[in-house]
Amino acid sequence: MDYRKLGQEITELVGKKYNIARLTHCATRLRFELHDISKAETEKLKALPGVITVVNNGGQYQVVVGNEVQQVYRVITQQMGSATRSAESKSDSGKNNGPKQKQSWISRFISVISTTFTPVIPAIIGAGMIKAILAVLVLTGLVTTESQNYYILNTIADAAFYFMPILLAYGASIEFETSPILAMTVAGVLLHPGWSALMAEGKDVFFIGVPVRLTDYAGSVLPIIIVVWLMSYIERFADRVSPSMIKFFTKPMIVLLITAPLALVAIGPFGTYLNDLVAMGAEAINARASWLIPLLMGTLQPFLIVTGTAWAMTPIATSQLTKNGYEMINGPGMLASNIAQGGATLAVALKTKNKKLKQLAASSGFTAVLGITEPSLYGVTLKLKKPLIAAMIGGGVAGIYAGLTGLVRYAFVSPGLAALPAFIGSNPMNIVHAIVTCLIAFVVTFALTWIIGFEDPVDDEEEGNSNVNDDKTLSGQPVLDNSPDTKSAAKTNANVPRQNELRPLTIASPMQGELVHLDRVPDDVFSLGLLGKGAAIIPAKGELYAPITGEVTAFMDSKHAVKLNGYDGEEVLIHIGVDTVNLKGRHFDSSIKVGDRVQRGDLLISFDIEAIKAEGYEVITPIIIANSDRFPDIKLEKQSPVEVGATIIHLS
């Protein structure tokens, strides 16, 4: 795999480096936050060799590349350089002037948790694995709990959890666009030995006459996230009120002088209360129905991964690990789910006759049983559907067993066969229950997948020999014959131009105005043809009509951009004005939504030209053929005034 080439291609297709507001990664996926998500070419990204799939959930645009994610991440961050404020290159103020898309509170919560925890994952996984190794050493008698070797290794493993607030402060500062160093300093205040000394004395503590609740913040999660969120507003205030000549001194002083006391007096205790409340709720559920949480996690984990909500339970699990030394929220159910994914995928590998699918299923199935399931989920079970259902059933059945036997996880690692030592602890039967959970998940899922089967895709070679005329190509794509034998193939290759599509296609003018070349658009992304060939119109009337008959496949919340896919294979992107996403929907009106079918000439969007100009924005409107590479011959009409419905672009 050429990681440099893959990284460069991904950067191009997410809208170039200038469109990347932030980039992090986890075990298998690149997590982008983009200035303008409409610039990302999702279908082209999915088609890249090395990309498993693309997920747009939880406030992030996620490109799943599998176990090689770190190599690709390095390439992209090198390309980004100083062009964008990534997690590694944010300025001290953290201010980001890029437009942001509206998010539901659920998406916002998931985004906060994801961005906050993603940079911390290497530390807690490394610490978790040391804990697991230490458990094996104690179990085999190579190390005793009273030895200095144990003490030192245990200290190394505990450090990541003890100083969790400092680690989380970094990720939270990235999410809330504030200074990472100041955020980590405030977290250090919460963990300072002087604060521990006050707690040890046990006396009442007051700050300027206000009573201070003495709370142990070691290993806490929610308090520091709330504190950093508040600090982001305090920093902006300090930036405004500090005189320019002495801002270097006054700004950090104001931030620390306000944030730290608030953290100790009010925000920290409140966050601790929330933290404890959530943990008590989870423990109460576990005490009354120990099987319920592992059942739900074992069954629904694939759904949580696909929707991007798998992060929601991480704070509770981390808190339990820190306070109790074990957790039962994520680990047991995830172990059942991960092994079930591997069982389903390996069953596919043995049963399929498709050579490519067999190879993919064998490698991703092996990876899944080790603990990394996304290649298996996106590459095999989600596409075939029935194996996914089998995996959810098998994961649920194994989850019930895990819950009834009280299975817990002693270290923060991705559950799988490679991480079984993380289930070795004070209860010697815990590892036995973990192994039995794995066996149940694998056997039940494998058997179900084998019995209910799946629709085995035809090998490309066979399909090519029987359905495709190899002598007929268009833009490098196979052209299907119109004979009855090829009709079924045409259904599964809807985006591939058919032979009868060699006839000219036309794009109608979507608005009244002056037709001009793309190079008139004051935005390099359009004027240089980076998104595709096309034309532009300087509108004379604030109405946008459908230039083709087809389906609405993308529509921005700001109502300034829409993408249509035509029934003849053409894809048309229309972007009203330049940088008008910043208007957040002001001066635009539309009732269309993604999935709507439209006829050429239907009114799509109304907009107020003068109001948009009054706010300082250009109204010149690019009309882009998003899949220009599919059409070898694209001709534009001459520049001139045009009416709605007049032909402006010819395709063949």
Query: Does residue 575 carry a catalytic annotation?
Result: yes
CB 29 within 8 A of CB 45: no
d(C-alpha 388, C-alpha 537), whole Å: 48
d(C-alpha 391, C-alpha 375), whole Å: 14
Biggest distance spanned by C-alpha atoms of the chain: 89
CB 10 within 8 A of CB 355: no
CB 555 within 8 A of CB 594: yes
**CA within 13 Å, CB half, 126:** 10
Q: Cα(first)–Cα(last) distance of the chain, in Å?
A: 35
Q: Which residues contact 389 (CB under 8 A, 6 or more apart)?
A: 452
Can you point out the beta strands (E) in 523-599?
534-539, 543-545, 550-555, 561-566, 571-575, 588-589, 597-598
Q: Is the dihedral of CA 608, 613, 617, 619 positive or negative?
A: positive
d(C-alpha 589, C-alpha 560), whole Å: 9
d(C-alpha 250, C-alpha 256), whole Å: 10
Name the token pair of 630. Answer: 């599919």
A 10 A CB-CB count for 634 gives: 18
Element (H, E) at 32: strand 29-34
A 10 A CB-CB count for 94 gives: 20
321 in helix, strand or coil? helix
d(C-alpha 365, C-alpha 346), whole Å: 5
Helix ranges restricted to H, 493-588: 524-527
Fill in the DSSP letter of residue 64: E
Query: Does residue 25 carry a catalytic annotation?
Result: no
SS3 per residue for 404-472: HCCCCECCCCCCCHHHHHHHCCCCCHHHHHHHHHHHHHHHHHHHHHHHHCCCCCCCHHHHHHHHEEEEE
Active-site entry in 26, 35, 438, 560: 26
d(C-alpha 345, C-alpha 381), whole Å: 7
- The label of the residue with tokens 């003495």 reads 214
Active-site entry in 35, 433, 560, 575: 575
Closest by CA to 441, choosing from 369, 515, 537, is 369
CB 351 within 8 A of CB 450: yes
Active site residues: 26, 575
